[in-house]
Structure 1
Amino acid sequence: MGGVILRFIFIAVNYNGSTFTQEYINSINELSKDVSDQIEIIIVDNDSKKEDKDRLIEIAERNENTKVLWLEKNVGYFKGLNEGIISCTKDSNTFLIIGNNDLTFEKEFILNLKLIDIESDTLVIAPNIITKDGRQQNPHVIHRVTRTEKLKAQIYNSNYYIGQFFKFINQTLIKKLSSQKPKLNSYPQMKIKRGIGACYVLSNNFFNHYEKLDDRVFMWGEEALLSNQVESVNGVTLYDPNIKIIHHESASVKSIESKKKYYMVKESYQIYKKYL
């Protein structure tokens, strides 16, 4: 790709999370890159509180490569990302890095992304995403979702109280495992079924088939909808261990009241379950 001007457009959704957004932008602006590489940042604000919007205005004013799109209501995750996707010009020399605003990119992220041999069927690239406590979130699903996992999802979404019991058991297991030092898996670059929803790289091949993401769910289940888009056109999601991201897992989702969150998840499940 020598001599070619490459554009890297980072798109994230903000909802009352300007502190995370500031760190997200700082992380991007500190990335190593070649002189000809261009970086643009688009923050889509999902109708945050006034004080958060005011801070976003200040952040954008301090960063010339950043623009904010202001939405009049909270439209959800993928719908918010789509506002950013639709707003920018895309061509064969453009990469779109879409996701949460609670991410820190490893300094060599762009340079390593440029080393990936992107074949014509590669629509999505899944980065190596690691939480602050050391849990590796990709590859999210390598080959297929097992029957056991499908059954667990079905049972969880059958009843609120059953779902809470499942959630308690799951959290207990996570706490037990997190008390031990996590071991990072050394997966090689490979084709996978789906990556975690916190961040994706969309290649230009994606836009040869689609104008935007399938955004039928407000939140939760986006991974299944995106993998369905990719597979429907015989495309590939490629996991690459060398493009690394730290995921801070912000408190915005955790703050949602449990019963409200359960029914939001259940509503999304009715849409994405056939793609599991």
Structure 2
Amino acid sequence: MLVDSHAHVDTERFDPDREAVIKAALAGGITRIIDPGCDLPSSKAALQLAKDHPGVVFAAVGVHPHDATTYNDAVAAELRAMAQEREVVAIGEIGLDYFRMLSPRDVQRAVFSAQLQLARELDLPCIIHVRDSYDDVIELLREQGPGLRGVFHCFSGTVAQAKECLEFPGFMLSFAGPLTKQGNELPEVARMVPLDRVLVETDSPYLVPKPVKARRNEPLFVKHVAQKLAEIRDMSFAEIARITSDNAIRLFGPGVN
């Protein structure tokens, strides 16, 4: 049993073979896939995909920082309504991205805060995107106060940043393809993070893990991330699969069980 806690299977890159990709994941032991939205259309697509694959695909709904300028009262109302569907297990993908800056910083901050508040009101976890923006993300989370829970998805920061993220007791860190590659502090982060606060993901179709040579990532390949995590922690693959799956079920709720 293994959960891919973050995969954008709804995107057009899977249009030619989406069903085959999901079947391959199931055949390879990936029992559940969390598919987060990035804007209103992709949130709707993720929800429909979850409805079409009950018990296998689960949706999150939200507006990514790249698309923060698309957020308005009407979008917020639709997200709120969708978030109350039983197939929706989180608010996301939300956060701040100061690397590409496809939306102005002040707009990103306002939209992120609004969606954190939505997660709180609906008692849902949030899936947080952070790129070149750790200080502001931490600031806005602290402003929200205690009670939120969620995951820093595709964690790619330093040990110091990981420790800061883990100061929020309801949050987990999720590892993706970068854990399998050189030139970062992620092995050190993976060694120090408490086992009850770690998830694995693909972020499909992005971030293909080693040793896969494919140009497109897919949920089946989350097993390579889990294997690398097992090696770093000197544990068996089966242990890591069980622990990360249990964590995903605990975070995203009994409906994922």
* TM-score normalised by L of structure 1: 0.29
Tell which structure's C-alpha radius of gyration is larger.
1
In terms of fraction of residues, the more helix-rich structure is 2
